[in-house]
Chain A
């Protein structure tokens, strides 16, 4: 079946270091969304990428969608303790509004 693999599963960084999480799909995606879930909380939408090769930035966060629309990445520059949480990617493959979710990358930041 369709899958979205997300790596790494866990990442522990020192505050100020950079962080990247990657998503890879077995099939071409129509779009990819990124969500953040704080510990004990619920997922919150961060961004959606739709176009091949698209790059979007939100302050210290940079999101990329691959040329083949099969992979995506989220890069955080100079992490802060407020970045702690689990980052999920979720891809759309058609028009049935059903997203395929990655397993998430849990980020821990040492102050």
Chain B
């Protein structure tokens, strides 16, 4: 059964702690993305990766870090430097074929609450 998994679904952390969100895909996609969604704000891109061992900052990368050591995995760390980390975090992946865009497949998301 192919798809994207994110864990956990709900996560609670104390202020000042780093937390890592998991994202795994078995779709054999080269590109992976992390988005943050706040009420009424749509999707904002945090980081994206088009190939293993390479990633680029999105529009709101400050306070976040990522790694892409394996094609299947793209974990996101929310650091204590992120001012307002409470949000819904979505991971996505897509094929890469030449210069064309491809549909993005999303995971179920992780709701992070920082107390």
Contact = CB atoms under 8 A, between A and B. Distances in A.
Contacts of A9: 40
A103 B108 contact: no
A35 B101 CA distance: 14
Contacts, number: 55
B43 A88 contact: yes
B48 interface: yes
B68 to A, nearest CB: 14
A42 B94 contact: no
Contact of B106 (A31, A33, A43, A48): A43
B52 to A, nearest CB: 15
B42 A45 contact: no
Given A42-B90, A45-B104, A48-B101, A97 B42 contact: no
A35 B103 CA distance: 9
A102 interface: yes
Interface string B79-115: 0000000000010101010011101111111000000
A34 to B, nearest CB: 10
Contacts of A33: 101, 103-104
A104 B104 contact: no
Given A43-B90, A97-B94, A103 B45 contact: no
A89 to B, nearest CB: 10
B111 to A, nearest CB: 10
B58 interface: yes
Contacts of B109: 42
B107 A88 contact: no
